[in-house]
A and B are shown apart, each in its own frame.
Chain A
């Protein structure tokens, strides 16, 4: 089954949000800046 690109974007975004929320990404984890 091919995953709809919209859902893929939603899953990817929420995965990143989750990683940032639990501290894996960000100041206390892997620093991400722009």
Chain B
């Protein structure tokens, strides 16, 4: 039996579970929508990312208790669903909005990535963490969470357990932030665009960024997605610079020069799909605006991604490396949150105000 044959039942079963949980989350969202919950909380404030993530966490617990989690895990395709949803999102956003938001996002991305990466690198050095773990963790927090951790690990040849550890940390911290950040933004009365930019600069993983934006509002979802996608697009350059630094300074491997092709290899190609969809929408070729089937499909794709995020959460890896990396990660996250708030306000509130 080939490995493909061995994993096919797991993929199909996993996808079926994800779909069933997504339908359950959608049903709960609709039921709660018209209700007033205890403490006077309006049901419509509890948007579908919250229920989808909760459904995923519930499924996660049941699957782990039944010993089925490992078998069905190949069907949990967070990144695939998320990126499909992001391209569909582009089909409902004018290119003028994308261009304006991207201009601010590039500036914000350069400031945030540089400041957060070097703060994290310095702080993890003070805690005497391993250089490769420092690189993977700093890139994950500074750029775009899980995919950045994987890209950085490839660039510096990190150990598999270091990537697994950072990935677990990213999701454990991002899931609560997905809910807390919109609440804080609401308490501070942040405009939609500023809140979206804050989520994009502050929350590590793209799925949770989109979730937070969705909870806060339509404009916040758009700006958060553009800001985070722009940051994703910078990953290639960061991975290349890391590879050069590790080859020439940290490990001193003479004669080994990482190729600039790494920049293209690590470039998130879904961003091209997002821009192409936005251009087609702007020229009236396609319509993914409000009330269309494309918009509904986008929401379904995001729901599937949020369910997968809950299903993939794992805390067991975090215990394996002691408390120091966890403390560093949390301190850098606090720094990232505070800095992103100021930078988002300056750029999207003053320099590049976005009208979506």
Compute how far the CA of A7 lies from the CA of B23 in the bound complex, rounded to whole angstroms: 26
Compute how far the CA of A26 lies from the CA of B270 in the bound complex, rounded to whole angstroms: 24
Q: Across the two chains, which residue of chain B brings its CB closest to A18?
A: B286
Main secondary structure of the interface of B (DSSP, over half): helix
Contact A16 B273 (CB under 8 A): no
Kindly state whether residue B332 has any CB partner on chain A within 8 Å: no
Contact A25 B88 (CB under 8 A): no
Which chain B residues lie closer than 8 Å to A33 at the CB level?
296
Main secondary structure of the interface of A (DSSP, over half): helix
The listed residue (A12, A21, A32) touching B84 by CB distance below 8 A is A12
- State how many angstroms separate the Cβ of A30 from the closest Cβ of chain B: 8
Kindly state whether residue B80 has any CB partner on chain A within 8 Å: yes
- State how many angstroms separate the Cβ of B180 from the closest Cβ of chain A: 25
Compute how far the CA of A16 lies from the CA of B164 in the bound complex, rounded to whole angstroms: 33
Contact A9 B297 (CB under 8 A): no
Q: List 14 A-B contacts (CB under 8 A).
A: A5-B83, A6-B269, A8-B80, A10-B270, A10-B272, A12-B84, A13-B87, A13-B301, A14-B87, A16-B294, A16-B297, A20-B292, A20-B294, A21-B285
Given contacts A13-B84, A27-B293, 11 further A-B contacts (CB under 8 A): A6-B83, A8-B80, A9-B86, A9-B270, A9-B273, A21-B287, A25-B293, A25-B297, A32-B293, A32-B296, A34-B300
